[in-house]
Amino acid sequence: MSPVVSPLGVPNVPWCPSHIPPAVPNVPSEPIVPFCPQCPCVPCCPLAVRAVPNVPLPSPVSLCCPCCPHCPQCPQCPHCPRCPHCPCAVPAVPSVPNVPIVPDVPIVPSVPVLSLLSPLSPLSPLSPVSLLSPMSPVSPMSPLSLMSPMSPMSPVSPMSPLSLMSPVSPMSPLSPMSPVSPFVPIVPFVPIVPDVPRLAHGGAIATLIDTSLGTLALAVAGRVVTANLSIDYLAPVPLRSVLLLEAFLQRRQGRKLFLGCDLWDAEGTTLHAKATGLFIQQDPPKEAARGGDSGR
Ligand SMILES: CCCCCCCCCCCCCCCC(=O)SCCNC(=O)CCNC(=O)[C@H](O)C(C)(C)COP(=O)(O)OP(=O)(O)OC[C@H]1O[C@@H](n2cnc3c(N)ncnc32)[C@H](O)[C@@H]1OP(=O)(O)O
């Protein structure tokens, strides 16, 4: 077998997730998949396909993986965790041409939605965040529920890209004025960038936080943009760890929504980050635009 070469041309750096031991002791590891000299997992990744733009996609179509130019020679491709066509991979995103940053229709953040740092999405392989669920109309005041990081109800699967644990519950009505409003995505970080320390990138964490806060703001006020985001990184996030993000609306002042969040490990024992964000409502209803301050 020829030596493994990373996308950056650095040999013998087994960055493939199949070869990285689990960073979190309690998270079961993925099955070890032997490297294939034709396809050391890297070509299975849409990022790698992008990196080799002149490599035509293989034909005929009877491939295990149309994303992988080496797939016909690679018996491992169907089992590569990076392959969107692999049975163990993330469900493919429906073919939507573009995912708006802020959807026109507010969504219920209780639907499984986010694939953080997933290179698997055919929607946008380079996008750190992919939308995996259809959008559902919802009242901006729709009640959401709070799920504690400690909740035994959390079916966290370290193999899934994300489980979003905010089922709609009449038990916990979300008021825009509520100091604690609930939005709790559960996200395992997976490595997509080779040759980096096995810690989650701060920018990726920021993306997670921005998207989560933005989703909560979206549920409360419709179209929003981030005006300010402030993050305190308190403890490193190991790759492959599973996280809980608890977001809450602190206050609302006219078009301004002040939100905060805590990023925990799956057990709710380590606080990895705290953040606050200011989101500005876009195209507010006329009464809001006139009167303004519904907050404190
Ligand atoms: C996990 C599950 C996933 C599910 C999957 C869902 C997918 C769906 C995800 C949706 C969630 C997307 C979340 C990402 C959202 C972005 O990342 S958006 C992209 C990043 N943000 C931007 O590009 C914004 C760029 N900036 C701007 O457009 C404008 O500067 C702004 C922010 C809209 C403000 O401009 P403006 O509308 O003219 O408002 P302006 O009068 O200047 O300011 C309004 C008020 O805000 C204040 N303000 C404005 N900026 C600031 C600031 N930086 N600091 C403090 N105060 C400020 C002003 O002082 C003013 O206050 P008041 O005088 O009214 O008291």
pLDDT tens profile 260-290: 999 998 888 999 999 999 999 998 665 555 5
Residue 130 predicted with pLDDT over 90: no
- Whether 218 is in the pocket of ligand 1, judged by its Cβ within 6 Å, is yes
Ligand 1: distance of its center to the CA of 21 in Å? 40
Residue 171 predicted with pLDDT over 80: no
Q: Tell me the residue type at 12.
A: N
Closest residue by Cα to atom 45, ligand 1, is 256
Structure tokens at 41: 């997992």
Residue 153 predicted with pLDDT over 80: no
Test site for ligand 1: of 104, 205, 225, most ligand atoms within 8 A of the Cβ:
225
Instruction: Tell me the H-state helices in the chain.
Output: 46-51, 202-221, 286-291
Reported pTM: 0.51
As a whole number of angstroms, the distance between CA 179 and CA 132 comes to 29
Q: Tell me, what's the pLDDT at 35?
A: 32
DSSP 11: B
Q: What's the ipTM?
A: 0.94
Q: Residue 245's beta-bridge partner residues?
A: 263
Q: Tell me, what's the pLDDT at 290?
A: 57
Map residue 240 onto helix, strand or coil: coil
Q: Is the peptide bond before 60 cis (omega within 30 degrees of 0)?
A: yes
Map residue 215 onto helix, strand or coil: helix
- Whether 184 is in the pocket of ligand 1, judged by its Cβ within 6 Å, is no
Closest residue by Cα to atom 27, ligand 1, is 227
Q: Which atom of ligand 1 has the smallest separation from the CA of 279? A: 32
Ligand 1: distance of its center to the CA of 236 in Å? 28
